[in-house]
């Protein structure tokens, strides 16, 4: 079973991600901010990371950069899932090392398609 790290400071979003991902048979790891997300990614080495952008402290762009460039985590695909939907946000997210960029509210089918794309690619 693939393990997915969800990094999001919104309890509502976290609940929704957990609902969708468990329904599709994924194991969930949770972090409520970017710093914890990076720590957990290093400790647990999940198969994929879903990353929010707007969070207190270390934001999603910074956390994505740390995971994408980390010695033990650079192989892990990071998919940014954010309410920020400007082209500049997408470009910046990819520059930080994100594999993909989805906007909230996320469509369940689209989310699962993107996850499967990166899990089978590895």
Query: How many separate domains does the chain show?
Result: 1
State the burial class of residue 64 (Cβ atoms within 10 Å of its Cβ: 0-12, 13-18, 19+): buried
Q: What is the pLDDT of residue 59?
A: 97
Query: How large is the average pLDDT for residues 84-98?
Result: 96
Give the whole-angstrom CA distance, residue 35 versus residue 99. Answer: 19
What CATH number corresponds to the domain at position 58? 3.40.50.2300
Mean of the per-residue pLDDT values of the chain: 96
Q: Is the dihedral of CA 114, 117, 118, 120 positive or negative?
A: positive
Q: Which domain holds residue 21?
A: 3-121
pLDDT digits (tens, 9 = 90+) for 13-59: 999 999 999 999 999 999 999 999 999 999 999 999 999 999 999 99
Q: What is the pLDDT of residue 120?
A: 86
**What's the pTM value of the predicted model, to 2 decimals?**
0.97
Task: Report whether pLDDT(77) > 70.
Answer: yes
Residues 96, 116, 15, CA angle at the centre, nearest 5°?
80
């Amino acid at each position: 079973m693939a393990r997915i790290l969800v990094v999001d400071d919104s309890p509502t979003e976290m609940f929704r991600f957990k609902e969708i991902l468990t329904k599709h048979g994924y194991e969930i790891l949770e972090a409520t901010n970017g710093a914890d997300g990076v720590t957990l990614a290093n400790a647990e080495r999940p198969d994929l990371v879903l990353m929010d952008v707007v969070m207190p402290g270390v934001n999603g762009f910074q956390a994505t950069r740390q995971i994408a460039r980390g010695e033990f985590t650079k192989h892990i695909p990071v998919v940014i899932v954010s309410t920020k939907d400007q082209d500049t946000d997408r470009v910046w997210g990819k520059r930080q090392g994100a594999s993909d960029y989805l906007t909230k509210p996320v469509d369940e089918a689209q989310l699962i398609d993107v996850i499967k794309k990166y899990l089978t690619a590895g």
